[in-house]
Amino acid sequence: MKATINDVAKLAGVSIKTVSRVINNEPRVRADTIEKVKNAAKALNYQPNQSARSLASTKSYVVGFVYDNPNAYYVIDMQHGILDACRKNHYELLIHPIDSKQNNLNDELADMVQQSRVSGLILTPPLSENSALIEQLNNLGIKIVRVLSGSSEESTQTEACVFIDDHQAAFDVTEHLVLQGHKKIAFFGGDEDHGSSNERLNGFIAALKKHQIHINYDWILPGRYSFESGVESCKKVMKLEDKPTAIFACNDEIAAGTLFSARLLGLRVPQDIAIAGFEDNPFSRQTWPKLTTAAQPTGEIASHAAELLFKQLRSMQNKNKESPQSLCFKPELVIRESTDPQLDAATNQG
């Protein structure tokens, strides 16, 4: 038989109300009491009914993850990271995909928030970069955490944010290609409505300027965050009379498509063309050669975003006034065989 809150209260030797206060993370409960209740709940394998908690009070124990992103790996990693934090904080997660280009975007999201009674939202690009949408959610009194491309040091945002320093990470990837001896480097962009595309391009350009390398704008191609975009961009740039010797793709899906296209054209990687990506998703490890990339800890980013949201919600419940906090992550360079011939040789020898 499934354990109830009455069973937990009896085993812990406290009242049902005290168990409820511990489960709801309410203040002014003694540490030894919290420990007794948690030990009893663990011993009985007690799982609070989130719907009942929401109905029994004015508080909702549901948060939402709203996204419009073509990268399935990114979305799955975000979901897992948020879910981990939800379990620790006894919240349910509502996952809501949405088309950011639709005309009634703001109205749809406002209706969803009001009908589902979510306590707060985690937004990812491009939704997190939509200032009109952010303003409407603030007017509705919805707590939000925004995942954004940028740096917290340069931020003027008033909402809680988790920043991804795409600029510096892209600079590091490009500088790696330069240090491998490449002076003719192309850049394949992602969706232009994502701030990450522009930040990564700016980091790419900054690295070339630092090393006084000519920027050939014929080699900077706009695109989408997709495998097909990499295939198309590679075909285009390799038709040029003056061809690059290295390509920095805006994410790993684009890079994998670039690698596929290069192989069809009879090019050796990295001997004829070096290829680097961004994010370190499974595409980067499932190709041959494996892709140099910038490792972005998406699951960790998601978990921290959720914790920032729960912190806001607890502050609001306890009627504390606390300024929203922000965090910043910098993806780290991971060098693999797609850009380093020595690694490829070492792998073949091994």
The answer to whether 260 and 231 have CB atoms below 8 angstroms apart is yes
- Which of 165, 179, 236, 168 lies closest to 204 in space, CA to CA? 168
pLDDT of 51? 46
- Confirm whether 288 is domain-assigned: yes
pLDDT at residue 60, rounded to an integer: 72
Q: Which of 305, 293, 312 is nearest to 247 (CA)?
A: 293
Q: What is the pLDDT of residue 155?
A: 58
> Is 221 contained in some domain?
yes
Cβ neighbours of residue 31 under 8 Å, at least 6 residues apart? none
Q: Residue 45 in 3-state DSSP?
A: coil
In a shared domain, residues 250 and 230: yes
* Rg of the chain in Å (alpha carbons): 24
Same domain, 320 and 286: no
Distances (CA, A) of 137 to 91, 97, 112: 20, 17, 11
- Judge if 17 and 158 occupy the same domain: no
The pLDDT score that the predictor gives to residue 157 is 65
Does 11 map to a domain?
A: yes
Count of all residues that appear for the chain in the document:
350
Supply the pLDDT for residue 52: 46
Looking at the fold, whether 77 and 130 belong to one and the same domain comes out as yes
User: Are residue 19 and residue 158 in the same domain, yes or no?
Assistant: no
Answer yes or no: is 145 within a domain: yes
Residues 172 and 284 in one domain: yes
Number of independent structural domains in the chain: 3
237 located within any domain: yes
Predicted pLDDT of residue 135:
87
Order across the sheet with 246-249: list the strands. 220-221, 185-188, 246-249, 274-276
Count the Cβ atoms, other than its own, within 10 Å of residue 215.
12
d(CA 313, CA 309): 6
CATH number of the domain at 11, please: 1.10.260.40
Q: How far is CA 223 from the centre of its chain?
A: 20
Tell me: do 177 and 83 sit in the same domain.
no
Q: Looking at the domain assignment, is residue 53 inside a domain?
A: no
**247 and 303: one domain?**
no
Residue 54 within any structural domain of the chain: no
Domain that holds residue 278: 166-295+333-349
Same domain assignment for residues 149 and 272:
no
Of 170, 166, 119, 169, the closest CA to residue 147 belongs to 166
Q: Give CA separation, 240 vs 151, 152, 161, 187, in Å.
A: 36, 40, 42, 14
Q: Say how far residue 72 (Cα) sits from the centre of its chain.
A: 11
Tens of each residue's pLDDT in the chain, 350 residues: 678 777 888 899 988 778 877 876 766 788 888 899 889 888 888 876 554 454 444 457 899 999 997 788 899 999 999 999 999 998 999 999 988 888 778 778 877 877 777 889 999 999 999 998 898 888 878 899 999 999 866 556 678 999 999 999 999 999 999 999 999 999 999 999 899 999 999 999 999 999 999 999 999 999 999 999 999 999 999 999 999 999 999 999 999 999 999 999 999 999 999 999 999 999 899 999 999 999 999 999 999 999 999 999 988 877 676 677 889 999 999 999 999 988 865 554 43
According to the model, what pLDDT value does residue 350 have? 39
pLDDT at site 137: 86
Helix (H, G, I), strand (E, B) or coil at 2: coil
In this structure, are 206 and 257 located in the same domain? yes
At residue 106, the pLDDT reads 78
Asked whether residue 222 falls in the same domain as residue 337, the answer is yes
CATH number at residue 320: 3.40.50.2300
Q: Are residues 277 and 208 in the same domain?
A: yes
